[in-house]
A and B are shown apart, each in its own frame.
Chain A
Amino acid sequence: MAQVAHASDRRRLFALLSPAYLWLTLAVFLPLSAMLFFSVLSDMPGADGGWGLTLGNYAAFLENPTYSTLLWKSLKLGATVTFFCVIIGYPCALVLAKSIRGRSREALFLLVILPFWSNSLVRIFSWAIVLRGNGVLERALNWVLPFDIRLNLMFTTEAVTIGLVHSYLPYVILTSYLALQAIDDDILDAARSMGASKLTILRRLLLPLSLPGLLAGAVLVFVPVVGSFMEPRILGGRMGTYYGTVIEDQFVAVYNWPLGAALSFILLAVVLVILGAASPALRKART
């Protein structure tokens, strides 16, 4: 790796880097700053009458318990979805990384992560077809079971949870798999030869060594779920009011951008605290 010493090197470095970082500044960092500014405005700029600076939008969050209740509801949803992703996804990663060998492992791994990279909106929509009353799931269950059941999961919290687990499960499998795959099989053989049981190997070796990967996956699920709005809207119906949908409303329905900006910023603060707390694990997981 070259040290930057000459002026020509510095010019080249600048020419190579500046487009990318100028772009990120224009499209991500300046907008985030602009939103911070918007969140302390009393009114939409350009609206009739003047606008001033105020902390009223943040006060609204504190005074109106609806917002904090919904934020709490979204955090709980995030925790539930993360929990299911971990208990479903980690065993899956374990099987892929340590039980299946050769070409079929690569193929299966690809099969698991492929949906994750496909359109999330369409995947949520596909659950609407499965879960609706008189839908595919109900008919399939009635066909298998000897008695008739009525099952209409559509527009319930369960539907939202199922859809979100479906959306984010591959994250946990991906990060856990990469961490598990990095564990040297010789260590496991050594433990086995010294008489360690399978449970001991899992508890004392596999789990601790792959924990950073598992945690990284959990964070990658939790953060976007807390800010989700499309999934609750489609699968939750009237039950699907969450913190994210309230922010969406401020921008596309109510047009109270300053309040929306303040609510977004509070969400960002929560997200940053979570990412900060998890950053040691995230850093370990990357290496």
Chain B
Amino acid sequence: MTLLALAGRVWLGLVLLFLYAPILMMAAMSFNASPFYQLPFEFSTKWYADMAGNDQIIDAALRSVLIAFVVTAIATAVGTAASIALFRYDFPGKRVLQVLLFPPIAIPWLITGTAMLVFFFSIGIGRGTPAVIIGHVALALPYVIVTVTARLSAFDVTLEEAARSMGAGQWTVLRRVTLPFIAPGIVAGGLFAFAVSFDQFVVSYFLSKPGDTTLPVLIYTAIRKGFTPEINAISTIIITVSMAVMFLAARKSNFGGDR
């Protein structure tokens, strides 16, 4: 190995250390008996027990998971339908529709979130869980559409024609030929949608009702009031869940693999 290649690997190692050290530190401290992160380290699951006994945290956690599941179901169904249409047909205005997928990703969530608040407030939806779900689906849709479309681009359209020539109806073709092929893309898109919703803070922050919030919003409020060790515990759980979900999504979509 040349010196340059060695230096490159060291650099990569340092970057990984930078990315993971704080997270691992937080995880370690969630098992430390001292609330002020004192050393020596004394193992304790006290904070996890405290967290489990904290109704506010449990409520918020259940709400976050419920919202994420609803968002995943809607965004995956609606997004997959749109991907099939965008892939299958050529029509005037298609470019415009494709470009319109980018604002939800490219505009800072602060702007999107405050705009949603203003609009939902004026049309009477107001703040609360329905508003959060509507907002999250909009943020998740582009990710689903991009992921499913990527899978569709590897799809051989002649397979559909073959099925049709043998007498299959349009619905049968969709159900028996197209959907099974793009299933991995749909699963990956669904996992992305789940992650977008479960980890979403900014939009939830503006759209959820105080006292009736999602987990990240609760954590933000708690941090601003002062650190409590239970926050370490729940944060460690959150980051484990979201990394696991993303790990699965990446495996499914073969993201970054050799193309």
The complex places the Cα of A78 from the Cα of B170 at a distance, in Å, of 50
CB-nearest residue of chain B to A275: B106
A129 touching B137, Cβ below 8 Å: no
B134 touching A27, Cβ below 8 Å: yes
When distances are taken between beta carbons in the complex, the residues of chain B under 8 Å from A268 are 107, 111
When distances are taken between beta carbons in the complex, the residues of chain B under 8 Å from A45 are 122
Most buried by B among A9, A28, A139: A28
When distances are taken between beta carbons in the complex, the residues of chain A under 8 Å from B242 are 117-119
* B61 on interface, CB distance cutoff 8 Å: no
- Scoring B residues 72 to 112 as 1 if CB is less than 8 Å from chain A, else 0, what string do you get? 00000011011011111111000001001101101111111
When distances are taken between beta carbons in the complex, the residues of chain A under 8 Å from B249 are 117
Count of A-B contacts judged by CB separation below 8 Å? 261
CB distance from A96 to the nearest CB of B (A): 7
B8 touching A271, Cβ below 8 Å: no
**Number of residues from B at the complex interface, CB < 8 A:** 88
- Scoring A residues 171 to 187 as 1 if CB is less than 8 Å from chain B, else 0, what string do you get? 00110011001000000
CB distance from A128 to the nearest CB of B (A): 7
Stretch in A56-64, A65-73, A103-111, A145-153 with 4+ CB within 8 Å of B? A103-111
A230 touching B201, Cβ below 8 Å: yes
A125 touching B223, Cβ below 8 Å: yes
* B173 on interface, CB distance cutoff 8 Å: no
CB distance from B209 to the nearest CB of A (A): 12
When distances are taken between beta carbons in the complex, the residues of chain B under 8 Å from A223 are 106, 108
Contact (A113, B256) CB under 8 Å given A3-B90, A32-B115: yes
A230 touching B202, Cβ below 8 Å: yes
CB-nearest residue of chain B to A1: B90
* A281 on interface, CB distance cutoff 8 Å: no
Contact (A234, B223) CB under 8 Å given A109-B256, A114-B243, A117-B242: yes
Q: Which of A31-84 contact B (CB under 8 A)?
A: 31-32, 34-35, 38, 45
When distances are taken between beta carbons in the complex, the residues of chain B under 8 Å from A111 are 16
Stretch in A188-196, A204-212, A259-267 with 4+ CB within 8 Å of B? A259-267
When distances are taken between beta carbons in the complex, the residues of chain B under 8 Å from A95 are 8-9, 11-12
When distances are taken between beta carbons in the complex, the residues of chain B under 8 Å from A110 are 247, 250, 255-256
Q: Which 7 A-B pairs have the closest CB atoms?
A: A227-B108, A27-B138, A31-B119, A16-B85, A20-B82, A95-B8, A31-B115
Can you report 27 residue pairs joining A to B where beta carbons are below 8 Å apart? A2-B89, A13-B91, A15-B81, A16-B81, A16-B85, A17-B97, A19-B78, A20-B81, A31-B119, A109-B256, A117-B195, A119-B198, A120-B201, A121-B219, A125-B26, A130-B25, A136-B25, A166-B19, A169-B18, A169-B19, A177-B256, A244-B110, A251-B114, A264-B111, A267-B111, A268-B107, A268-B111
| A-B contact sample (18 more), CB < 8 A, given A31-B119, A129-B232, A169-B19 | A1-B89, A16-B81, A28-B103, A100-B9, A108-B12, A110-B255, A111-B16, A114-B243, A121-B201, A122-B23, A122-B238, A130-B21, A166-B18, A169-B15, A173-B15, A247-B110, A261-B115, A268-B111
